[in-house]
Amino acid sequence: MRVCRALAISRRKYRGRIQIAADMIEIARNGSNKTRIMYQANLSFELLEKYLQLLIGSGMLETRENGKGFVATPKGLELLADYRALVEHSEIAESKRRALEASLAQQI
């Protein structure tokens, strides 16, 4: 049982800080409350608080006028667009790498 569990854990793909921040900005694009961000971004309350402080402090999110939610700022939306472009380019590069490896494997 432990072996199977260890294999399942080792196959998980963990998100980096940038991906978590991008997820939170996407969720708050049109405004969202803490609970919605926490559940949709799959974060613990502690991580939610940490990232909210980081994103508000860096000007990527701001609190709504009524103080009961968060909304993405133009700076946050710019980061989100840049992140999406980076992901797209990295997927293209990975696809080309796999094609090159396959080509080399056929020649050997």
Q: What residue segments make up the domains of the chain, in order of their start?
A: 15-107
Residue 11: per-residue pLDDT: 52
Q: What per-residue confidence (pLDDT) applies to 9?
A: 44
CB 87 within 8 A of CB 69: no
Percentages of the chain per state (helix, strand, coil), in multiples of 5: 70, 5, 25
What is the model's pLDDT at position 74? 96
What is the block-wise mean pLDDT of the chain (108 residues), using blocks of 10 residues?
42 82 95 95 96 96 90 96 94 91 84
The CATH class of 15-107 is mainly alpha
pLDDT in the model for residue 8: 44
- As a whole number of angstroms, the distance between CA 83 and CA 48 comes to 20
